Amino acid sequence: MKPLIRELRPADRPAIEAMVRATGFFSEEEIVVALELVDVALAQPGQTDYYFAVADLDGQAVGYACHGLRPLTEGTWDLYWIVVDPRVQRTGAGKALLEWSENDVRKRGARMLVCETSGKPLYDPTRKFYLGRGYTEDARIRDFYKPGDDLVMYIKRF
């Protein structure tokens, strides 16, 4: 069954926290940042820093994406977060969320969407996901996050 893409709701916060933790990819500090952005979006309806979508299967939040305009740029947008519950990965939820983000930023005049990720082997599926969706690896900063953990930047130009 294909997920429904819908707006973020207050009731989604616990599911988002659970799925971010369940991936095993993110540190406690990263989880705190992810939830801070959710909290901003929920507490300030109409804010324009963070745009969210939720993948919903049978009334349950099973994934989410968050993007925003990169400050001090003209038409460059960042995909800050895209997370899918490990139990439903490979069902099309990530692809649907990424397509939603791409369509949303294009409507807002985007020239490009930038996705940053880690160079650790754990992130091989993430990097393959971006490449399979038409993104190019445009930059790699060695040892960016910590020794042995590169920053890898993928870009799709519109």
Average pLDDT, the chain: 97
pLDDT at 2: 84
Check pLDDT > 80 for residue 79. Answer: yes
Query: Given pLDDT bands bounded at 50, 70 and 90, which one contains residue 101?
Result: very high
**How many CB atoms within 10 Å of residue 84?**
25
Token pair 């139990």 is found at 87
pLDDT at position 1 over 80: no
Structural domains of the chain, ranges and CATH numbers in brackets: 4-157 (3.40.630.30)
Residue 71 CB neighbours (<10 A): 8
Whole-angstrom CA distances from 136 to 73, 113, 114, 125, 155 are 20, 11, 10, 15, 5
pTM over 0.85: yes
pLDDT, one tens digit per residue, over 32-49 is 999 999 999 999 999 999
Q: How confident is the model at residue 152 (pLDDT cuts 50, 70, 90)?
A: very high
Section 123-130 average pLDDT: 97
